[in-house]
Structure 1
């Protein structure tokens, strides 16, 4: 035939038509907004490497949370900046810890009853050395201990759940931490609290701005002995499988855009809720391009989020959450 019978452009003729046949959709309820909670009152400190993101005191975090709820955002992921740090990271599980206090205040607000509160579970923001576990040093050599760290991580998860976290999200990448958290939550009568495991968290250059935001950069060495090698997709599947066997209810992939193949592989293999974290470096590099006028902000932001959703993520942790939700609304 002179002309093709199938003309795919018929389905692209207008915005109404394109929307009608669209395969992948975003909605505010699938977005999770990270918040960095710091001491003080009336504090809203801008993070230099992350335009539009702030360290917030609890009263300011409450305002941000109410804004997120009004936009229909699905949840908040809370990180803490403690007043002091020590080698064990004891602020992570303190009943008077910064995130514990924030959770209790957020839970008081009737306006937030439909907003899920996720609590990151790790020690790195609370340790004086900046590592995600306890450090054993022998001369110049050091080792991040696994099993002793796991006990403190599980203790942290219980403390956050008691304070009001709807979901606890361990991000440390220690072996066996999901099983330990599940055991301790159940023993504490918190068996209804689900675990969102950062099941495949890669040692990535894209975390740099976060470490400024959370003041959590390692004071020596790096995290490659516990976070995953970015070359290993099959190992990521093993990590996920182990975490699910230990009792994880959901999994989180981190980073997102440089690891879309990992998200896709996990979605095809595991029949559980899967999220992805569009991390600080992904956000900051886009913001830098926006500032230079090299990319159209709204289109590039939404395209980046759609790519993560299309790869298989059911929900997305992103610093664009508020801005994207406004557009989607």
Structure 2
């Protein structure tokens, strides 16, 4: 009999204990402890931590107090910007623009403009700070500043951090048609990032992300499946897997849970159940919302696809 499956754990702290340490420091109002955790990470890790603790109660009040005392603190600025952006996006919701009320948009833009004020100064003081620039790529999209401005911000970041996946994923959203981009631009960007990344790097997941975005744009699940099973799309996703999750140099560093979760979803929709089951097995009890939320409740959908992958592809 197969072992019972625990619900997936989507909390980033389960995969990255540094997130729990940062949250504890923020909850305790211990800024030196927070800085010690963040400063020990690489650029990817700093960006995750900056965006991973912004929902803490009274975070805005505390972070503004830190900034008032230490105006040059890049972590406090980036974290405050991330907090405001996230709060604004919760108000806006993930609905299409036509389904968002005028009042929601007004509050959304207010939050993002306040974030911009903080982040513009942060990147002026610290032009090499990947976390702050990543937030500015996201805020450019929300404020509808256009393709050129979003790309300008990304290019400023990429000049110092050429393989920064969080910023690449954010810009990819901007390049999709739903944010006034084109599929040609979106695919060109993912190929550019994938080709430039080192062997075994996680960046090839961008190829999967853009194909999933285009698949879901077809409107129905059956049409999405048919698109992903097309010969050229399947070959592109397999090549992306060879460059990342199937490559011997792939490591479980920052972002690995999202990468494997995204590939697992793609393999399920492609009906490549053995490959999907392998990704779910590598995840263990961990998971990432990734794009599972496109079908409804992300946890329920993750479980549904995982159960089917194990039933058809084999459960370890």
TM-score by length of 1: 0.36
Higher fraction of strand = 1
TM-score by length of 2: 0.37
The higher radius of gyration belongs to: 1
